[in-house]
Amino acid sequence: MKVSIAGYNIDSSQIALLDPQKATPESISAAYARISRSEKDIASLRQEALQEIIRSRKSNQNIIFEMGHSSIAEHAVFNIDLVGISRLLTETVQRSRLASFTEKSQRYVTFHSSFVIPEELAQYPDLRTEYIQICESLFAEYALSIDALAKHLAELNPGLSKRDLQTKAKEDARYILPLATKTQMGITINARSLELLLRRLSTSPCLEAKELWTELEDQISAIAPSLIRYTKGDAAAFQMPEDSVPNTSPSWADELPHAQLLDASANGDEEILATLWFEQFGGEPTALQEKLARLDDTAKKQLWNQLFADLQPWQKMPRAFEVMQLKYLLQLSECSWSQLKRHRSATLIRGAYSFDCPLVIPKPIIICNREHIWQDLLEQVRRFRAKLDQPLQAYLRLNAESVQVLATLNLRELYHFSRLRSDEHAQWEIRLLSDQMVALAKPHAPLATALLGGKSDFENLNPDI
């Protein structure tokens, strides 16, 4: 065996010291593209690609775009800093499944009065002035809420440090912030996923997204022109005619967050066991499932106890757990949605923006007698939003406003989700949501779901089922 590190990401300031004709990820893509059709070893292929950049680019273009082998572009990986973009724009960026994101957290960082003012408002000075005033009012209330919450928490927890008090206060005060709030994030993304992101940005009606499209397209094309070509999308082809289906307004649960299980795979316990057996010993899956279904409860429990023996909270469940599918309708705040959307292995489809939805107001805000202030601010926001074109209205969505999400995930992903989100360190709202999702799943596969729950509760979960 011979293992070689062919490349890795380094800071761009170090790349700038290299030969710009060779410091490009295109050579890796071109070399790996030739592996399947060449007798030469990989090291030789990489050396050839480095020495012949022009030829490598032509090879990439032919293989990726003419022959359609787009996976070659996945060998080129970019690290991208995004600074000063709105939380609204992160919704578009973070839809990319095969990418990694780390964003400035409103849970841990204090946000000062910094928000995106849409370029579209430049031609409407009165609206622009009112927009700024409303955003400044929201940030002012955010600061006042932090102070009020910190004082309240200090009375309940006199032993907490000032830093811990501030952190816990920010966790709830951030619900009043708008999606216009400026943030920053780091992205690690391959060229194929980046091309898809560019297409998504190109179809956005917001000028902020188009500005990001231009910046990314210009910079990436200068570094790796052979890897990205189709950067403009056509959203119109996928739009539903407005009058094709009778419109219905979303109904909201009395208490949020709220999870409703719409569908679940039948006979999940037996199907997972049959799949595990098939994977290890072969056989006919349907016949195996029928045979397992005929076992008595004691025999089934013994099988599951053997499977769960020595399981650790950091371990992934076997892939066989993916055969059980669960479909939920989730109702949660924008604040909680920003965490849910990071679970990109699940299928998460957010409903269209609803601007008459209820607020999710943290209980400490109510205890501190600030709920009426928040409601008054929401009414101001709603009156002003009605004056804006629809694409701009979302900039003034509050973190506390509700969203609906259709979520389809398999049991393996639910295990991963609950380990993180039902944990004692999880944010309170996403934890409530996770606990509901777990409770709804358990009756449909009581044996396979026996160890669902947060990492902090793992030792208390009973594997002896």
Which of 24, 20, 12, 19 has the alpha carbon at shortest distance from 224?
Answer: 24
Q: Which residue type sits at 409?
A: L
So what's the pLDDT on residue 411? 98
Pairing of strands 347-350, 77-86: unpaired
So what's the pLDDT on residue 44? 86
Compute the distance between CA of residue 73 and CA of residue 190 in angstroms, rounded to an integer.
7
Give the N- to C-terminal CA distance of the chain in Å, as an integer: 44
Give the pTM: 0.90
Which tens digits make up the pLDDT trace of 25-70? 878 787 777 777 778 888 888 888 777 777 777 777 777 777 766 7
Mean pLDDT (the chain) is 90
Residue 403 has pLDDT above 80, yes or no: yes
The residues that bridge with 258 in the sheet, in sequence order, are 331
Residue 117 has pLDDT above 80, yes or no: yes
Give me the mean pLDDT over the 447-459 stretch.
Answer: 91
The residues that bridge with 79 in the sheet, in sequence order, are 188
Highest mean pLDDT among 159-168, 188-197, 358-367: 358-367
Confirm if 103 and 185 have CB atoms less than 8 A apart. Answer: yes
So what's the pLDDT on residue 3? 56
Compute the distance between CA of residue 194 and CA of residue 74 in angstroms, rounded to an integer.
9
Compute the distance between CA of residue 409 and CA of residue 438 in angstroms, rounded to an integer.
12
Domain segments of the chain as ranges = 12-75, 266-321
Dihedral sign from CA coordinates of 51, 52, 53, 59:
negative
